[in-house]
A and B are shown apart, each in its own frame.
Chain A
Amino acid sequence: MAEVQLSGIHKQFGAIRALRGIDLVIPDGAYVCLLGPSGSGKTTLLRCVAGLETVDAGHIRIGNRNVEALEPFARNVGLAFQNYALYPHLDVRGNLAFPLRAPRRRAQFDDEEIERLVRSTAALLQIDAMLDKPVVTLSGGQKQRVALGRALIRNPTVLLLDEPVTHLDARLQHEMRVELKLLQRRVGTTTIHVTHDQLEAQALGDLIVVMRDGLIEQVGSPDELCARPATSFVAGFVGDPPMSLLQVRLEREGGSLSLRVGKTRLRPGERLARLLDGFRDQHVEIALPAEDISQGHGGDVQTVSGKVQAHEWVGRELQIAVMVERTLVRLRTQQRLDLRIGDELAIQLNLTRAHVFDSKTGRRLRSSPN
């Protein structure tokens, strides 16, 4: 088992700068999720650690060895591919044993040692009943287990997973997520798991690394990400439904501060006023979780209005998207509203727990210690 240290990683494919300087430490035995939209460089980073891509600059340390110049084999990493990449001409036993039969490992494993390891790994992944079945006849879930087995059988120092469960249907996805997490706990291998699904990242990651355009936006535990998103991008990416981001203009008259969203003026509330006190810029971006947005008039909590863009039932909740000043505001409600697309809807914004970001840099405003 080993800690993984990435320092100053740069990677370019022709004109596209896939990785623009990555510095990251992955603690020994941790389950870390690389989270980001497609094109954020998360898969490229995984492939660099595996050695399937060479880095243009920077160092990759696994345990106490620099490995960026080594070929994949010498890094002793295990990799489970997104579409499994099993050897179609072999059965399950053949696939699991294949790494142990690599010519470079000829000395280490004799036949009955291989058989023993194959059986124990198969048992660990509950596929010991199908060792003789050709892999092409297996279901998605079973193929994923064989791919994991093949990666784990030679006890890699680092386990790399590239979107391992996104292809499975909803029910199987939940099942495999639990299994993956419990398996990693039991085996204890340092694991890097790439996904674009933020709920999956929160469910599995001890630590989540949010990436965008080849850079790291934030590294933190699932709770940290939701409670204190470091940038407006992270805020807009996390949460189910994701937080709503509103461009707000600051207006100061006679010492009292108000926030203008389109035509309506909102009172910032005591916490925000103190936070924005020293802030010079005209504009700020605020992020509101869906729980703090509700439908309809009433109370002193301020209201804005906009046209309904979409209304979808998700489980028992109706998720509504309203266009306010060119930004989509998403809210949830239990009530059965009869909505049609294009209707005007008034929504209340509760700013008490709003996150505030500098609208130019997108970075979170240093909140005064409270």
Chain B
Amino acid sequence: MTVALIRNKDQHVSVRRSASAWPIGTVGYLVAAIFTGFCLFPFYVILTTALKTETAIFAWPPVWVFKPTLQSFYNALFVFGGRSAISYLINSIVISAVSTILAVVLGAMAAYGFVRFRFAGKRHLAFWILSTRFAPPVAFIVPIYLMVQKAGLLDSHIALILIYTAMNLSLVIWILRGFFAEIPIEIEEAALVDGYSRLQIFWRVAVPLVRPGIVSTAILSAIFSWNEFLYAMVLTQSRAATLPVYLAGFSNSMGLAWGEYMAVGAMAVLPILVFTFAVQKYLVRGLTFGAVK
């Protein structure tokens, strides 16, 4: 008997069982569970290693049951790296937050502009902006380094903020263009007749209607800024240095402080794990929208 894996968003077509020994559902479930385990396991490794004592970390065979200690976290936060990790954490938060806000506001305005207005060169401009998403950042590091140096902005927050805004802009515009295009034009025409100007319609009608899009692009921008490593390492040393720079510092010093190393790693990853779970549904829509559209 054939196996019909027909799924259906609205629930009523069921899966036809195949006659073989392993019902397809169980096999599917098993594969999904194994893959999910594979995805989560490294996070488990980071967290447990950060909580292990020195000996437990290097033990062979690896120790699974151990008495957790916060020593590594304490050292990472207050002892290592001259200044405490707190300032790196704050820099990361400030820089990704400000660059996200800038990217989303400018991006939303531009996306709306592209969807609602016709003007000369629109297709070319849109294609160029789209292509910036594909430009590998490493190709820009040399010229941007010299530009920032000449502007005297090395090791400054503003440099990273502007660069991250530029890097996130194309994704924000690409995703929000899809969301804005879904708004029926009549609703905006009704607002026009009701006495609102084009820009007021943008703020009062269009933006509220794409709130899910704005939330998901904000999340994605924040995550990409938080995770960025190359520019942070090249353009900052201490004052504006972010978490990745602190983490990179560990590997250079090669002092095998694995516990502290993992503690900082955990700090860098945990906020995202918690954050994503809270706003998960926006995220998926934004991520896929950007890709599938």
Complex: how many Å from CA A85 to CA B197?
A: 17
| A150-B186 in contact (CB<8A) | no
| A82: chain B residues within 8 A (beta carbon) | 186
For residues 32 through 87 of chain A, which have their beta carbon under 8 Å from a beta carbon of chain B?
50-52, 71-73, 77-79, 81-83, 85-87
Which residue on chain B has the smallest CB distance to residue A89? B208
**Stretch among A96-104, A214-222, A304-312 lining the B interface:** A96-104
| A89: chain B residues within 8 A (beta carbon) | 208-209
Given the interface contacts A88-B209, A89-B209, does A73 sit within 8 Å of B192 by beta carbon? yes
Given the interface contacts A98-B194, A102-B195, does A52 sit within 8 Å of B209 by beta carbon? no
**CB of A105 within 8 A of chain B?**
yes
Query: From residue B218, how far is it (CB to closest CB) to chain A in Å?
Result: 18
**CB of B190 within 8 A of chain A?**
yes
| A87-B200 in contact (CB<8A) | no
Complex: how many Å from CA A78 to CA B192?
A: 11
| B190-A102 in contact (CB<8A) | no
Complex: how many Å from CA A82 to CA B208?
A: 23
| A78: chain B residues within 8 A (beta carbon) | 193
| A83-B193 in contact (CB<8A) | no
| B190: chain A residues within 8 A (beta carbon) | 79, 81, 85-87, 150
| B186-A105 in contact (CB<8A) | no
Given the interface contacts A52-B189, A79-B190, does A73 sit within 8 Å of B195 by beta carbon? yes
**CB of B191 within 8 A of chain A?**
yes
| B192: chain A residues within 8 A (beta carbon) | 51-52, 71-73
Query: From residue A234, how far is it (CB to closest CB) to chain B in Å?
Result: 30
| A72: chain B residues within 8 A (beta carbon) | 192-193, 195
**CB of B196 within 8 A of chain A?**
yes
Given the interface contacts A81-B186, A81-B189, A85-B189, does A102 sit within 8 Å of B209 by beta carbon? no
Complex: how many Å from CA A102 to CA B186?
A: 17
Complex: how many Å from CA A83 to CA B189?
A: 12
| A99-B187 in contact (CB<8A) | no
Query: Within the complex, which residue of B187, B200, B209 is in contact with A103, where a contact is CB–CB below 8 Å?
Result: B200
Complex: how many Å from CA A76 to CA B196?
A: 12
| A102-B196 in contact (CB<8A) | yes
| A50-B209 in contact (CB<8A) | no
Complex: how many Å from CA A86 to CA B197?
A: 18
| B193: chain A residues within 8 A (beta carbon) | 50-52, 72-73, 77-79
Q: A interface vs B, CB < 8 Å?
A: 50-52, 71-73, 77-79, 81-83, 85-89, 98-99, 102-105, 150
- CB pairs A–B below 8 angstroms (18 shown): A52-B189, A52-B193, A72-B195, A73-B194, A73-B195, A79-B189, A79-B190, A83-B184, A83-B186, A85-B184, A87-B190, A87-B205, A98-B191, A98-B194, A99-B194, A104-B195, A104-B197, A105-B195
Q: B interface vs A, CB < 8 Å?
A: 184, 186-187, 189-197, 200, 205, 208-209
Known: A83-B186, A85-B190, A150-B190; 20 extra A-B contacts, CB below 8 A, are A51-B192, A71-B192, A72-B192, A73-B192, A73-B193, A73-B195, A73-B196, A79-B190, A81-B189, A85-B189, A87-B190, A87-B191, A88-B187, A89-B209, A98-B191, A98-B194, A99-B194, A99-B195, A103-B196, A105-B195
